[in-house]
Amino acid sequence: MHIDQLETPVATVDLDRLERNIARLQAHLDRHGIANRPHIKTHKIPQIARMQIEHGAVGITCQKLGEAEVMVSAGIHDIFVPYNIVGEPKLARLVALARRCRISVTADDEIVVHGLSAAMEQAGLTLPVLVECDTGLERCGVQTPAAAAQLARLIANAPGLHFGGLMTYPSSERANTFVRETRALLAAAQLPLERVSGGSTHCMWQAQDFPEINEHRAGEYVYGDRHALQSGAMTLDDLAFKVTVTVVSQPTENRRIIDGGSKTFSSDLGTAPGHGLILEYPEAIIYSQSEEHGHVDFSACSHKPLIGERLTVIPNHCCTVTNLFNQIVGIRNEQVEVTWPVACRGLIQ
């Protein structure tokens, strides 16, 4: 089937570009001796995760246990869940995962470490736990190298746990400095620091500039989006993920309505105006959205589309868009080659 025969709105991935994006980042990180551990939250599709592993990734990153459970069942054997796993039900699921694959997690607080330790000791397992470090993004994470070293010692001494290294996001000069200072404190405590996990798509081509960080987690790089374009990490020719929509209304001279809104594109914004980039009309602005309608201003465009015309949209943020679709259509040479269920979407965390 030709891509133009697909009903809209439809999310497609250009398979040639997908494969090229996967191969290129792998080659770049290989060249610099940095382990590649891509984040599957972007695609949530086991088939793409397997492609990433086949290209040389050391394993994958999942953001929640539900994703990891799907990926283990799909044959992925090395999974990092950079998340504080808290509470009995989730610890029981983590134990079950640890029996099925090599899994590692993060912690940023002794309460979390105690929970992990009790669960793993009781199960007779040893879990690698990385210390999450807040190096400027103000999300989770210990606040200082001293706190990181202290928590690392707690993990190293906790039954059922193994100190697995440090984790932060994104890789940056500030992160590099934080890790260097923590490494010195750990050396003084005879605690070796092997794995340091950083990441982001935006800085992926500069990963080698942060020598303290030896593992890279990138997610969006497989698909690309307007964020990646704006950051300079990817060009228009790299973008593999697109949403095709149809103009369904032309109420005024300059206003057009497309059949994709906040339940297609999410409401994530970026630095560029509007809810996505329309490739055929780059000057057009998707200025607002209803749930199933996008409202577009074509006043800056000399030619304006009419009802029935199909448009190709690069979303602001591909990760939250794939999460809204039950399936993604793989395209090669404008023909449908494969349809992948977004297997990890909507799962229990």
Q: How far is Cα 330 from Cα 43, in angstroms, rounded to an integer?
A: 12
Output 170 or 214, the one with its CB closest to its own copies: 170
For residue 52, give the amino acid letter: Q
Output 19 or 110, the one with its CB closest to its own copies: 110
Q: How far is Cα 326 from Cα 348, in angstroms, rounded to an integer?
A: 16
Output 171 or 214, the one with its CB closest to its own copies: 171
Q: How far is Cα 98 from Cα 95, in angstroms, rounded to an integer?
A: 5
State the nearest-atom distance from the C-beta of 269 to its own copies, in Å.
8
Alpha helices in 194-260 (DSSP H): 226-231
Contact 245, 279 (CB under 8 A): no
Give SS3 for 329: strand
Residues of the shown chain interacting with its own copies in the complex, contacts defined by CB under 8 A: 7-10, 41, 63-64, 83-84, 86-87, 89-90, 108-109, 111-112, 134, 138-143, 246, 248-252, 255, 257, 259-260, 262-264, 266-269, 290-293, 295, 306-308, 319-320, 323-326, 345-349
State the nearest-atom distance from the C-beta of 152 to its own copies, in Å.
16
Q: Which two tokens stand for residue 106?
A: 């993060």
Helix (H) or strand (E) holding 176: helix 173-188
Burial of 250 (0-12, 13-18, 19+ CB in 10 A): middle
Q: How far is Cα 60 from Cα 198, in angstroms, rounded to an integer?
A: 13
Among 164, 106, 175, residue whose Cα is nearest residue 137:
175
Q: How far is Cα 298 from Cα 313, in angstroms, rounded to an integer?
A: 14
Give SS3 for 108: coil
Output 25 or 343, the one with its CB closest to its own copies: 343
State the nearest-atom distance from the C-beta of 257 to its own copies, in Å.
5
Q: How far is Cα 192 from Cα 166, in angstroms, rounded to an integer?
A: 11
State the nearest-atom distance from the C-beta of 310 to its own copies, in Å.
9
State the nearest-atom distance from the C-beta of 207 to its own copies, in Å.
21
Output 84 or 176, the one with its CB closest to its own copies: 84
Output 12 or 264, the one with its CB closest to its own copies: 264
Q: How far is Cα 296 from Cα 299, in angstroms, rounded to an integer?
A: 9
Output 139 or 303, the one with its CB closest to its own copies: 139
State the nearest-atom distance from the C-beta of 143 to its own copies, in Å.
6
Output 194 or 334, the one with its CB closest to its own copies: 334
- What are the φ/ψ torsions at residue 229 (nearest 5 degrees)? -65, -50
Q: How far is Cα 228 from Cα 62, in angstroms, rounded to an integer?
A: 20
